[in-house]
Structure 1
Amino acid sequence: MRVVIGGGSGFVGRELTRLLKSRGHEVTFISRQPGPGKITWADVESRGLPPCEGAVNLAGENIMNPLRWWNESFKKDLVFSRVNTTRILAQAIASSPTPPHSWVLVTGVGAVLGRDGGAMKKMLIPFWLGLGGTLGSGRQPFPWIHVSDLVGIIAHALEPKVEPSTEPDVFNGVAPALNTNFEFTKELGRTIKRPTIFPVPGFFLDVFLGSERAVILTQGQKVVPKKTLESGFEFQYPDLTSALKEIVRN
């Protein structure tokens, strides 16, 4: 297939590109800046999509960006970065004489775990220093997914269907294991052989992240990948132990 990826230069986009290319597919990025193997969002808006069989939109400001304060300006950027790119891509697909047979919009997944980025990149340093601990009470659900499984789900969703559906498929990007933040914290500590005795109080997260954003970490959300499993997708890392061992191995 020829696959166009919006926001393909990020952590998930790089992993998805590796996977697709390993399967013989061609990849073109939609980016803010032109370059080899890239087209710009302005190009897509004015000229439409290049010929392709699949499209993916990963674009969007990171809601947990520690360098951005939680304020109205940041919230507008969050919405605009997702809604505007999705609008451009959707309009380009709708107006194409040969639209892709499938397109994937990634709108919300669990904490993405991997060796080269994602949630683990922010967590590993304090854990290696022995400063890791639970967030808030620790009893809240902590949905997560290994990046290899996330990009696997995306690639799986891009595959042509024998019986195409008029309704969109919704695949939750989370591992089948249902873990609490406490369980995640203790398993990561065991994996890297470090203590996890310094909990992060909820009020500290409220101050540092903003209460509206902190609630993602302090309350969590119980999510299961029911349709993902029913579709036939097989997880490489269905449990925390296997996922964390792969990530922190030397």
Structure 2
Amino acid sequence: MRVLIGGGSGFVGRELVQLLKGKGYEVTIISRQPGPGRMTWADLQSGGLPQCEGVVNLAGENILNPMRWWNNHYKKDLFSSRVDTTRALAQAIISSPSPPHSWVLITGVACYKPCLQTQYTEESKWVPFDFLSQLVKDWEEAGHLPENVAKATRQVVIRPGCVLGRDGGAMKQMLTPFRLGLGGSLGSGRQPFPWIHISDLVGIIAQGLEPSRSPPSPHPQVFNGVAPSLNTNYEFTKELGSLLKRPTIFPVPGFFLDTVLGSERAVILTQGQRVVPKQTLESGYKFQYPDLRSALQEIIQN
């Protein structure tokens, strides 16, 4: 299989490329810089979609980049890096004389409104309620294929929670303070903490690239990219501290995160959603790391 990946050089992209190449797939990355096994976004717009059986979009500016202030310029970058790249890939698929059999878009659980009680599945109805949920709506709509193309190309949307892995993402920023004994809960700590080990996320993506066994559908198949274990931020904090044999007595106040990150962005850390992978499990996917302890053990040991 030949697979084209937008954002293939990022944290999740690197892991996905390694998995797919291990399966014998031929992988091309869309990047800002040309090179072996790469093409640029300008190449895609000028030359169209190269011959491939699967397309994935992982592109997106890091939303928790501590070096970027939360302002309109940053919001435009977040929008452009997600929505515009998704639209470019969808348009290339639509225009292709030989469309791929799979189109996989990775978005996020920010579409679900934070709540301590409500439990969300892929079938849950939702409407935008803030900047991030509107971003997810625009993002997913940008990737939607018209019905005539959807007859040939399976559409898959994966909504991951916090991606845990040793080479990037949130864990890379958290491990040092936790190892120094400076870790603690964020805000109240009671907020749900939807998470997934990076190996499981790329496993779900790889499964999404496989040809559909179901009849063609004009609507995307949606999979929540979260572990089946429902945890709070407090439980995550205590589990990580326990495995590192370090105290976790320094909570980070919510108002501090609002000040540093901006209140619209801080909700990612101070609020959360109870998300379950109902359709992911029904699809037959077997989680390598279904519980928090096994996931964190793998990351820390390596």
**In structure 2, C-alpha distance between the alignment counterparts of 1:162 and 1:130, rounded to whole Å:** 50
Letter in 2 for 1:31: S
Deviation at 1:164, TM superposition (A): 3.8
SS at match of 1:151: helix
Give unpaired runs (5+ residues) of structure 2. 109-159
Letter in 1 for 2:33: Q
SS at match of 2:174: helix
Q: Paired residue for 2:176?
A: 125
Q: Paired residue for 1:50?
A: 50
Matches within 5 A, 1:189-204: 189-204=241-256
**In structure 2, C-alpha distance between the alignment counterparts of 1:50 and 1:155, rounded to whole Å:** 19
Letter in 1 for 2:234: F
Deviation at 1:4, TM superposition (A): 0.2
Q: Aligned residues, how many? A: 250
Letter in 2 for 1:208: V
- For each residue in 1:193-224, what CA deviation from the matched residue of structure 2 results, as whole angstroms up to 9, or x when unmatched? 11000000000000110001011111111111
1:139 corresponds to which of 174, 190, 196: 190
What's the TM-score once normalised by structure 2's chain length? Answer: 0.82
The yes-or-no answer on 1:223 pairing with 2:223 is no
SS at match of 1:69: coil
**In structure 2, C-alpha distance between the alignment counterparts of 1:143 and 1:165, rounded to whole Å:** 30
Moved over 6 A (4+): none
- For each residue in 1:106-144, what CA deviation from the matched residue of structure 2 results, as whole angstroms up to 9, or x when unmatched? 111211111111110011010000000000000000011
**In structure 2, C-alpha distance between the alignment counterparts of 1:238 and 1:164, rounded to whole Å:** 30
The verdict on how the C-alpha distance between 1:164 and 1:48 changes in structure 2, with shifts beyond 3 A counting, is farther
Matches within 5 A, 1:23-42: 23-42=23-42
Deviation at 1:162, TM superposition (A): 2.1
SS at match of 1:171: strand
Letter in 2 for 1:238: P
SS at match of 1:27: strand
The yes-or-no answer on 1:241 pairing with 2:293 is yes
Root-mean-square deviation (Å) = 0.8
SS at match of 1:51: coil
Give unpaired runs (5+ residues) of structure 1. none
What's the TM-score once normalised by structure 1's chain length? Answer: 0.98
**In structure 2, C-alpha distance between the alignment counterparts of 1:81 and 1:26, rounded to whole Å:** 25
SS at match of 1:140: coil
- For each residue in 1:52-88, what CA deviation from the matched residue of structure 2 results, as whole angstroms up to 9, or x when unmatched? 0000000011111111000010011101111110111
User: Taking every aligned residue pair, what percent have the same amino acid on both sides?
Assistant: 77
SS at match of 2:14: helix
**In structure 2, C-alpha distance between the alignment counterparts of 1:185 and 1:176, rounded to whole Å:** 18
**In structure 1, C-alpha distance between the alignment counterparts of 2:262 and 2:214, rounded to whole Å:** 45
Q: Paired residue for 2:238?
A: 186
- For each residue in 1:123-181, what CA deviation from the matched residue of structure 2 results, as whole angstroms up to 9, or x when unmatched? 10100000000000000000110000000000010001122431211111111100000
